Amino acid sequence: MNVVLVGAQWGDEGKGKIIDILSEKADYIVRYQGGNNAGHTVVVNNKEFILHLIPSGILHKNKKCIIGNGVVVDPEALIKEINHFKKYGLDVDKNLIISDRVHIIFPYHRLLDVLREEKRGKIGTTKRGIGPCYADKVNRCGLRASDLLNRRLFAKKLKANVKEKNEFLRKIYNHKGFSYNELLRQYLGYARIMKKHIADTSIILNEAIKKKKYILFEGAQGTLLDIDHGTYPFVTSSNTSAGGASTGAGVSPIKMDRIIGVVKAYTTRVGEGPLPTEFGKVLMDMIRRRGKEFGATTGRPRRCGWFDNVVARHSASINGLTDVALTKLDVLDSLKEVKICTAYRYKSKVLKYFPGDIDILSECKPIYESMPGWMKDTSSCKRYRDLPVNARRYLERLSRLMGAKISIVSVGSRRRETIIKK
């Protein structure tokens, strides 16, 4: 079985926990886009793990964890993460496989990310060099993991890139640039460590599919941050939606059996860009505190708002969701009233579909449907029928509005605080 799991909002939906639960049955767990801008939080035995690049399956024994060709890899961050997980006795050496086609992040990518943010206007990026690295990929001058394996060719390509980047940095930003010799030494050192992990992962995955293995494709960020389908330009630089799993892992779309979208019971986003259902200060402070809404990668406070179904339905449609995993229902436990945004008002018009134009979206006002809250603790509920009736009504309403069934409900950060409906 091949399952794609995607964030159906602006990222941080709690994908890490759901992937961790599904990983138990999976044979392969595959990251297919993004890089160490992601931060997937998983709580195991009261210990919190944050994974940035390595698929969350590494926390389970004997799961093959693949970093697919669509990912951009910062070797420094990767090696730090490998060493961190080795300290916990996890078998990273045996189980981590990195595509020979991943693009490599260099310090000049990180610097360009920072300088662009400062000088050209804010996207609110994670400053990990993700956008500039993907830009080189699309511009066909990036360096890939396979290049790291060929010392002579790597040196030649790096030299050309450093020369070009330094000229640009000097001219545009008056920055002295980077030393080619220093970068070469540093990256050849990384290559020695990464070498044993690098392979053609698309062959491995397609062989596994033939053998009917269970493959879980782990999306990072969320559909509204998709470079094509998100709130452009306030997006990340990859295809975060389900289609990205196919191109980013080298597996045909016809092979995907289920597509699970993860949504929070409300909405959050980090970074800049419109968020139509954003709370006022009182609710913002309360939900942010209860939901621990601070970025796993950058620590930035997340902006919070009511559940936006215009967003969720857009996601359900773009991704072709077969199932929904809803997280953080417990964060709403104390509210007297819960609201769902069912459409936007734009000037005198009612919009039911998510507008592609960011300037229109910025002027949209949410139209809400209100429901009574449940005002009971849900974190101890083990089965769907244990949930308070108003909580079930809320879930059923969301499911109908999204046009997708809710199969998993998460009511806390621990593995056991999860209701699997199906």
Q: Which residue is nearest to ligand IMP (CB)?
A: 271
Site for ligand IMP, residues 131 to 170, rule: CB under 6 A: 131
Looking at the Cβ atoms of 219 and 381, the one nearer to ligand IMP is: 219
In angstroms, the CA 180 to CA 246 distance is: 35
Q: What is the DSSP string of 280-299?
A: -HHHHHHHHHHTT-B-TTT-
Separation CA 63–CA 25 (nearest Å): 9
Residue with tokens 């693949």: 66
User: In angstroms, what is the minimal distance from the CB of 274 to ligand IMP?
Assistant: 12
Q: Kindly state the helix (H) or strand (E) to which residue 387 belongs, with its residue range.
A: none
Separation CA 139–CA 141 (nearest Å): 6
Minimum distance, C-beta of residue 105 to ligand IMP, in the bound complex (Å): 11
Task: Select the span of 56-64, 117-125, 173-181, 194-202 touching ligand IMP (CB under 6 A).
Answer: 117-125
The answer to whether 175 is a known catalytic residue is no
Q: Contacts with ligand IMP in 198-217 (CB under 6 A)?
A: none
Region from 76-84, 92-100, 143-151, 218-226 binding ligand IMP, contact rule CB under 6 A: 218-226
By rule CB under 6 A, what count of residues binds ligand IMP?
20
The minimum distance between CB 129 and ligand IMP, in angstroms, equals: 8
Choices 181-189, 233-241, 397-405, 412-420 (CB under 6 A): range interacting with ligand IMP: 233-241
Q: Which of 123, 133, 242, 324 binds ligand IMP (CB under 6 A)?
A: 123
Query: Using CA atoms, how far apart are residues 288 and 100, in angstroms rounded to an integer?
Result: 40
Stretch in the footprint of ligand IMP (CB under 6 A) among 60-68, 120-128, 160-168, 355-363: 120-128
Q: With respect to ligand IMP, which residue has the nearer C-beta, 78 or 419?
A: 78
- Quote the Cα angle for 281-284-285, to 5°: 85
| Alpha carbon distances (Å) from 149 to 153, 242, 291 | 9, 31, 44
Query: For ligand IMP, which stretch binds (CB under 6 A), given 65-73, 220-228, 338-346, 412-420?
Result: 220-228
- Choose among 270, 399, 375: nearest CA to 325: 399
- 38 near ligand IMP, rule: CB under 6 A: yes
* Given 4, 82, 130, 364, the residue binding ligand IMP (CB under 6 A): 130
Task: Give the binding range for ligand IMP (CB under 6 A) out of 121-129, 150-158, 309-317, 330-338.
Answer: 121-129
Which residue, 261 or 271, has its beta carbon nearer to ligand IMP? 271
> Using CB under 6 A, which of 1, 117, 124, 247 touches ligand IMP?
124
Distance of alpha carbon 73 from alpha carbon 58, whole angstroms: 17
Q: Could you give the 3-state DSSP secondary structure of residue 267?
A: strand
| Separation CA 152–CA 158 (nearest Å) | 10
DSSP secondary structure string for all residues of 199-250:
E-HHHHHHHHHHTT--EEEE--S-GGG-TTTSSTTSS-SS--STHHHHHHHT
CB of 144 to ligand IMP, least distance (A): 20
- Interface pick for ligand IMP out of 33, 37, 99, 322 (rule CB under 6 A): 37
221 in contact with ligand IMP (CB under 6 A): yes
39 sits near ligand IMP (criterion: CB under 6 A): yes
Angle between helices 75-87 and 180-194 (to 10 degrees): 40
Selected catalytic residue, list 12, 74, 136, 226: 12
Q: CA-CA distances (angstroms) from residue 255 to 8, 252, 360?
A: 21, 6, 37
Distance separating alpha carbons of residues 287 and 371, to the nearest angstrom: 18
Residue listed under structure tokens 């936007």: 344
Q: Which residues are 126's β-sheet partners? A: none
Would you say 208 or 318 has its CB closer to ligand IMP? 318
Q: According to the binding rule CB under 6 A, does residue 271 interact with ligand IMP? A: yes
Best CA proximity match to 59, nearest among 75, 32, 35, 81: 81
40, 52, 197, 314: which one is catalytic? 40
Is 40 assigned a catalytic role? yes
Which residues here bind ligand IMP, judged by CB under 6 A? Answer: 11-12, 37-39, 123-126, 128, 130-131, 220-221, 225, 234, 236-237, 270-271
Instruction: Just list the catalytic residues.
Output: 12, 40
